[in-house]
Amino acid sequence: MNKLIIKSCEEIMTTLYKPIEFAVDGLLAQGLYILAGSPKTGKSWLALQLCLAVAKGEKLLERETANGTALYLCLEDGYERIQKRLYELTDEPSDKLFFSIMADSIGCGLEEQITKFKSAHEDLHLIVIDTLQMVRSETESTYGSDYAELLPLKNLAQQLGICIVLVHHLRKATDSDPFNMVSGSTGLNGCVDGLLVLMKAKRSANQATLHCTGRDIEDTELLLTRQGARWTVTDESEDKPPDIFSFAIHDLMLEMLSFKGSATELCGLLTEKFEQEFFPNMIKKDLTLHGYELQSYGVNFSHKRSNGQRLIMLAYDRDSDTSDGRNLMPEPSQNADPAVTAEQPESSQAIDSIGSAATEGSNTCEKSTDPVGQLAVPFRKGADPEYLLINGKKIEVKRYTLNELLNQSAARLREKIFKERGVLVPEFDPAL
């Protein structure tokens, strides 16, 4: 009898585990997945689009992908059809995308073939098997047999740290739950780490819904439109606020170098420095979940009990800091309004704001001119730049006086009149 390996609740909650890596952010993580759909719904096109996105490091359905090698086992098609589909999706080949039209079945050599391919391509992130039926060896379909048949691929995906996607079919019978329509017993659904079901309202439609569920992903429904050979997202995605916790801890430790104290004390220091609310009951959890990221910024985290009190210990190592000791968190700005500044064009990389400090003389401001010689974008000299963090990006804050903003708006209006009517409106002189 094998000894039962046991870990305590506290040990698990305080251990720094390597974060789960995603092949497609929020959709496909390390593990075994099924992509199912009715025949001719476009699931193979979506599978090929997925492989190309990972191989090129491009977005898929407006989501980031992990750039690395992808292997497409296209077992129902020939290379001629693959070539035609590739030219429908891209003009540039990728040296990280590979194909095969033949493979062994599960339990009869497929696992060894995948392992050998992984040993030759260390950056392998994704394998698509199209279709599952082509690599099955079991003829009966019961919960136990279906679960047992897929289990070797599930274990292999975890062992190699890759994502394996099985392209599969749906039953003809309809169901209010799309995941119940996956062909076969519920043993398939129970074994895999996630399910993606592509459904059309009718076969001739160019629109479909991608239903997604899984152990490491949130339940999601994406409305897709087929534009030529490519699937695109048609519904608006919600922008999540950037996760700035690691940035805040890093920048605090740049000043302190080390910390030993309670969660309440640490939250007080963070709140005082960044003028944002941090919660003592969440700080230990956030430190643990961000442990790997903090280590990459040179911050090491540990904790212990002392006299019945839980103490948090942080230490900063400049040599391990991938940011080279630079501040990652913007300093708080009482006068900048993120609701207004977020509307500024991203290409300008600047945010206009009006503050009490903007009453300085005009000699602190330089001006560039537009094509008709009028005021364009002023910028200040002599002061350290301020930054805001918007969608995870550091954007420099530019400050203007009210007169500068009015003159800038007037200049744009004069330029518009000049372009549309050819009339040069003279600049307004308040002294007249």
Q: Please check the confidence at residue 365 and state whether its pLDDT lies above 80.
A: no
Q: Would you call 368 exposed, middle or buried from its count of C-beta atoms within 10 A (0-12, 13-18, 19+)?
A: exposed
What is the C-alpha to C-alpha distance for residues 335 and 216, in angstroms, rounded to an integer? 40
Alpha carbon 357 to chain centroid distance? 38
Alpha carbon 419 to chain centroid distance? 42
**pTM greater than 0.85:** no
Nearest to 377 by CA among 338, 355, 405: 405
The token pair that represents 103 in the structure block: 């493979």
Q: Which pLDDT score is estimated for 393?
A: 56
Q: Please check the confidence at residue 428 and state whether its pLDDT lies above 70.
A: no
What is the C-alpha to C-alpha distance for residues 130 and 303, in angstroms, rounded to an integer? 48
Q: Please check the confidence at residue 49 and state whether its pLDDT lies above 70.
A: yes
Q: Would you call 229 exposed, middle or buried from its count of C-beta atoms within 10 A (0-12, 13-18, 19+)?
A: middle
**Edge-to-edge strand order for the sheet containing 230-233?**
97-100, 69-74, 124-130, 163-169, 31-37, 194-200, 207-214, 220-227, 230-233
Question: Does 328 or 406 have the greater pLDDT score?
Answer: 328
Write out the DSSP string of 1-24.
Answer: -PPPP---HHHHHHS-PPPPPEEE
Residue 382's pLDDT band (cuts 50, 70, 90): very low
Residues above pLDDT 70, as percent of the chain: 79
Alpha carbon 105 to chain centroid distance? 34
What is the C-alpha to C-alpha distance for residues 376 and 412, in angstroms, rounded to an integer? 8
Amino acid type, 306: S
The token pair that represents 420 in the structure block: 């549309």
In order of their start, the domains of the chain are: 17-232 (3.40.50.300), 245-321 (1.10.10), 338-421 (no CATH)
pLDDT digits (tens, 9 = 90+) for 279-317: 888 888 889 888 888 888 899 988 888 887 889 999 999
What is the C-alpha to C-alpha distance for residues 70 and 28, in angstroms, rounded to an integer? 13
Q: Would you call 146 exposed, middle or buried from its count of C-beta atoms within 10 A (0-12, 13-18, 19+)?
A: buried
pLDDT digits (tens, 9 = 90+) for 89-119: 999 999 999 999 999 999 999 999 999 999 9
Q: Which pLDDT score is estimated for 405?
A: 75
Place of tokens 């009869």: 108
Residue 247: CA atoms inside 13 Å, Cβ hemisphere, count? 16
Q: Please check the confidence at residue 338 and state whether its pLDDT lies above 50.
A: no
What is the C-alpha to C-alpha distance for residues 81 and 219, in angstroms, rounded to an integer? 34
Q: Please check the confidence at residue 384 and state whether its pLDDT lies above 80.
A: no
pLDDT digits (tens, 9 = 90+) for 182-237: 998 999 999 999 999 999 877 777 899 999 999 999 899 999 999 889 999 986 54
